[in-house]
Structure 1
Amino acid sequence: MDARIRILVIVACFFPVLVESAVRHYKFDVVLKNTARLCSSKPIVTVNGKFPGPTLYAREDDTVIVKVTNHVKYNVSIHWHGVRQLRTGWSDGPAYITQCPIPTGKSYVYNFTVTGQRGTLLWHAHILWLRSTVHGAIVILPKRGVPYPFPKPQKEVVVVLAEWWKSDTEAVINEALKSGLAPNVSDAHTINGHPGPVSSCPSQGGFKLPVDTGKTYLLRLINAALNEELFFKIAGHTLTVVEVDATYVKPFKTDTILIAPGQTTNVLVSADKTAGKYMVAASPFMDAPIAVDNLTATATLHYSGTLDNSPTTLTPTPPKNATSVANSFINSLRALNSKQFPALVPQTIDHNLYFTVGLGINSCPSCKAGNGSPVVASINNVTFVMPTTALLQAHYFNISGVFTTDFPSKPPHVFNYSGTPPKNLQTMSGTKVFKLAYNSTVQLVLQDTGIISPENHPIHLHGFNFYAVGRGIGNYNPKTDPQNFNLVDPVERNTIGVPSGGWVAIRFRADNPGVWFLHCHLEVHTTWGLKMAFLVENGKGPNQSILPPPSDLPKC
């Protein structure tokens, strides 16, 4: 059986259009891989020995079966980021939320159907900081015979943006937790696993994207970084945005893409030059006074017939605090909203929620970290405590004492969220969820608090897509701001950036029963507790209910 699966993996990875089966099998072996980047060598945790990991290919409505075997010392779980997992929460992947992690030497089979989705998503480890190296692309092709709603490209290329640490990332975050302070930033950014030339390692090359004059290429961009939003540019070339987070958008042209951790963006690039090498750049965006890795990852767009030693046309990258560039990109995003791909924005709302997201400081006289005042993060002043039994398991089997359903629908303390912080920065701790009836509609306003410092927060919701209907700077005004909401063609996403010192409003329909994680995709904030979960109850009958757990579900 394993040999047959391995053959299918090879076929699917390199010749996806030849695979006719509606069931795609993959085998993921989580292993240590010795690798060298930035003139340093260390073993890293990888899938099938690759960094980035293998690309999964499927078509809309295919069933995907992935057997994951853990060969490393860490417990492991894999999240299929953006896959809706309709009624199959057991395959969603966040450790201690929908499953217990896979122990060393054990395996678990993820089994899910990609229903009504097409485009680019990603998979990554969802435990500890392992997703720094355990990540890869998911490419969902349209149903056979269904064209793209944009000109067909001659070639498609997956481009994974990420961060690189010379140190073990588990050591980085453990040291930060001991100190109570922010962790060290990464040592470089990468494009498909390569940083490009850097001062500390002049011999390092970079990723090379060969192109032919006159052809059009679809770049499937993925931000797999742990803690940084990134700008993406190609010198001398215009990018046409056609999709974000596996949902089609009204095409628009730009020279700079903004992409947050967990987000994906598909762009068309026309090779309209006759020859030459052109710099491809990924650089950080952070408009708050927060330390970031300032190194720009570079690659080259290389026209056929151009000599390798030809000079590279460079491109200036935006300054890291280029808020206007970021806003220009975000404000250009609109759902395609065609007859075939309508924007089904909820027009009436059952749950009107207001969540503050940000940092705090908890007094802990007995703690060494932070001299007794470690930094924490919270949603509505609740710092989430990870359970030792998976929440979905506790919900399905009615195991008491694992969580409570009293997560607050609004901030317990009212203050000027984007202004002067309150004197009391203490948060409460708990494992709390918010309960939603099946098929109820939700409007959720996410407000940055600016405590300690205003900061961007890319928030990811598992199990659902949502519509970003509004956005602003300062404190959200429930009386006046909804008058400007876009309820016609707002962009549809699974990960949204809460602007520094501002707010964003999203809407979704709770039509997927289970327990679904909501958290900041800056891994440091998730570690500090900026996370919660929605519990969506079963509807009527088996087709609106959670499927039973698989027999090989890992045990805690």
Structure 2
Amino acid sequence: MGWWLNSGVWTMSMIIIIISSVQADSPYRFLDWRVTYGNIYPLGIPQRGILINGQFPGPEIYSVTNDNLIINVHNDLDEPFLLSWNGVQLRKNSYQDGVYGTTCPIPPGKNYTYAIQVKDQIGSFFYFPSLSLHKASGGFGGLRILSRPLIPVPFPEPAGDFTFLIGDWYSRHDHKTLKAFLDRGHKLPLPDAILINGRGVSFSSSLTVQKGKTYRLRISNVGLQHSLNFKIKGHHMKLVEVEGTHTVQSMYSSLDIHVGQSYSVLVTMDQPENDYPIIVSTRFAARELVVGAALHYSNSRQSLSSASTVEHQHQHPGDEVDWSIKQARSIRSNLTASGPRPNPQGSYHYGQINISKTLVLESSAGLVRRKQRYAINGVSFVQADTPLKLADYFKIGGVFKVGSIPEKPTRGRRGIRLDTAVMGAHHRDFLEIVFQNREKILQSYHLDGYSFWVVGINRGTWSVASRREYNLRDAVSRSTTQVYPESWTAVYVALDNVGMWNLRSEFWARQYLGQQFYLRVYSPVPSLRDEYLLPNNVFLCGRASNRHITP
């Protein structure tokens, strides 16, 4: 069956086809989503946004470890559409990753049913539209994976659990206008505002709490390019989870949250019963943008208004970069806490594993044929006419070449070349990846299908001697890491997930203009133990259009 019927009616044959590609012995959650254009009012004036079931941001996904999520997505836009699942590891199932390198887009007027299992995962994540610049108009939402009832969580049950989706926003340009900017060879203009849960007018939204109680806040930066600082005036935040890892429970007065990252904090309402500003502001930016929401104590008689002064956030002692690096290094895994399974997180001794290979990935920016491009190791990614995963599955030649991007920067080579960059790696390899940033901007990188240990962050140029600085005991495990200006970040990753996985800049203009590649994690002996079969409902496009799926 090539695609689901547009009626959205679930039939027994459809359900059987879906269940064949996921785990049949775990709970199922069925969602039916319709993606449309519609008027939204993030800054109080109408603009066209991308809605899911009429909502902006989209509906939040609630799930429990090992749940199977069956999400039927109808595309009512006037162009192809895909959803991706930021931080969800999709074990053995890169076909459902929702990026063009693995999946044919959903054509206008058609629908596709994602079948994903949140296998052995807990934590705070989000979904977003991965094609073009759709993310600039909406289509994103929160995704939480709760622990199974028998698995202990390392903190008491909070009185409430709330999601904060924060990000930079364009009010004067929609996704089509921004895409046209980039296609003409220009850089992305500066954003106009910061949004909190789809609202950018200060104190137009509030969170009502009760004195003496503790609440959990899940905070995700779903924006296009800016790092953001999050704080609640008069309150401290206890960090408890980062992208699926329970952390050492340290207290913070504010948190730097970089593009693509998700944090989970506990906040105790221990202040006098008033209203307090929740402040989100840009960091490492050419122009500061600030927005506020209200933390409202239920018995408060003092309200905040849009006329209230929103304080500046750049009041940290010392250098902005040094302050943020110090905070990043303080975020560590809680080795005594259980993750999705009853064994402690620290039972996996990543620091004692031999490194199979070291990748050094260096960004660059420049003009190619008088148009702005971005690259990794001198290669700027261009999309092929066929999703790479389908070309690999059907053995279609000429779509991509493994090794088309070098594993380290080539010092003698100048400039940027265009290619469909794919790097090869073997299943069960243990990689050291060094993100080297010689540019004067902060960057953010994400690897689909995996979490990695962030073992080192520092200024300057990485060398073998830098390994002496690594945290080889309790580094935080996550899927998105920042790289500070003229600095490096080193991560370890165990390649235990076969597939074609996107490694990209989370700065969306950079991603769109080439700062990404695909990591092909290969096993020479195909096995259902390592990777699921091609889904029966997959769209076929490009050079795979006339191929047939073998049952």
Q: TM-score range by the shorter chain?
A: 0.7 to 0.9
Aligned mate of 1:405, from 402, 414, 432: 402
| Deviation (angstroms), 1:3 | 7.0
Q: CA RMSD in A?
A: 2.2
In structure 2, distance between residues paired with 1:174 and 1:60: 37
Please name the residue that 2:111 is paired with: 107
User: Does 214-223 or 137-146 show the bigger shift?
Assistant: 137-146
**Aligned residue in 2 for 1:367:** none
Match of 2:374 in 1: 377
Give the alignment partner of residue 504 of structure 1, picking from 481, 489, 493.
Answer: 489
Distance in 2 (CA, whole Å) between partners of 1:333 and 1:169 is: 36
1:464 is the counterpart of 2:450? yes
The CA distance in 2 between the partners of 1:539 and 1:141, in whole Å, is: 35
Residue 445 of structure 1 corresponds to which residue in structure 2? 434
1:317 to 313, 317, 340: 313
In structure 2, what is the Cα distance between the partners aligned to 1:512 and 1:144? 27
Q: Which amino acid aligns with 2:140?
A: H
Aligned to 1:15: none
> Is 1:485 the counterpart of 2:470 in the alignment?
yes
Are 2:133 and 2:179, in contact at CA under 8 Å, matched by a contact in 1? Answer: no
Q: Report deviation, 1:531.
A: 0.4
* 2:102 equivalent in structure 1: 98
**1:340–1:309 Cα change, 3 Å:** closer
Say if 1:161 and 1:275 are closer, same or farther in 2 by CA, change over 3 A: same
Match status 1:303 vs 2:297: yes
CA contact (8 A) 1:181 1:375 kept: yes
Which of 390, 395, 419 aligns to 2:392? It is 395
- 1:421 maps to which residue? none
- CA offsets 1:75-118 (integer angstroms, 9 cap, x no match): 100001111111111111012x1101101011111111111110
Q: Write the distance in 2 (CA, Å) between the matches of 1:89 and 1:178.
A: 28
Distance in 2 between residues matched to 1:59 and 1:482, nearest whole Å: 37
How far the C-alpha of 1:532 sits from its partner, in A, is: 0.6
8 Å Cα contact 1:236/1:315 also seen in 2: no
The yes-or-no answer on 1:24 pairing with 2:20 is no
Contact 2:374 2:380 in 1 (8 A): yes
In structure 1, the residue matched to 2:546 is none
Q: What is the aligned partner in structure 1 of residue 366 from structure 2?
A: 360
Deviates more, 1:144-153 or 1:164-173: 164-173
Q: Measure, in 2, the Cα distance between the counterparts of 1:500 and 1:86.
A: 33
Contact 1:163 1:189 in 2 (8 A): yes
- Alpha-carbon distance, 1:313 to partner: 8.9
SS in 1 for 2:70: strand
CA shift, 1:216, in A, is: 0.1
Counterparts of 1:129-148 in structure 2, within 5 Å, are 129-132=133-136, 133-148=138-153
* 1:539 and 1:545 in contact (8 A); partners too: no
After the TM superposition, which of the residue ranges 300-309 and 374-383 deviates more from structure 2?
300-309
Residue of structure 2 aligned with 1:176, choices 162, 181, 191: 181
Match in the other structure for 1:545: 530
- Shift in CA distance, 540/250, structure 1 to aligned 2, threshold 3 Å: farther
Q: 1:487 to 1:25 in 2, by over 3 A?
A: same
Deviates more, 1:465-474 or 1:309-318: 309-318
Q: Which runs of 5+ in 1 are unaligned?
A: 6-19, 198-204, 365-372, 415-423
Q: Distance in 1 between matches of 2:134 and 2:349?
A: 36
Q: Which moved more, 1:112-121 or 1:175-184?
A: 175-184
Compute the displacement of 1:425 (Å).
5.4
- Normalised TM-score (structure 2): 0.88
Is 1:176–1:182's contact at 8 Å kept on the other side of the alignment?
Answer: yes
Matches within 5 A, 1:2-13: 2=8
Q: What SS does the corresponding residue of 1:262 show, helix, strand or coil?
A: coil
Q: Distance in 2 between matches of 1:337 and 1:306?
A: 40
**How many matched pairs?**
508
| TM-score, length of structure 1 as denominator length | 0.87
Q: 1:442 is matched by which residue type in structure 2?
A: L
Residue 302 of structure 1, CA deviation: 0.4
Q: Percent identity?
A: 27
How far does residue 449 in structure 1 lie from its aligned partner after superposition? Answer: 2.7
Q: Distance in 2 between matches of 1:84 and 1:440?
A: 17
Q: Look up the SS of the partner of 1:99 in the other structure.
A: coil
Aligned CA distance change for structure 1 residues 99 and 191 (closer, same or farther; 3 Å): same
Residues 18-49 of structure 1: CA deviation (Å, up to 9, x unaligned): xx981111112111111223242122111111
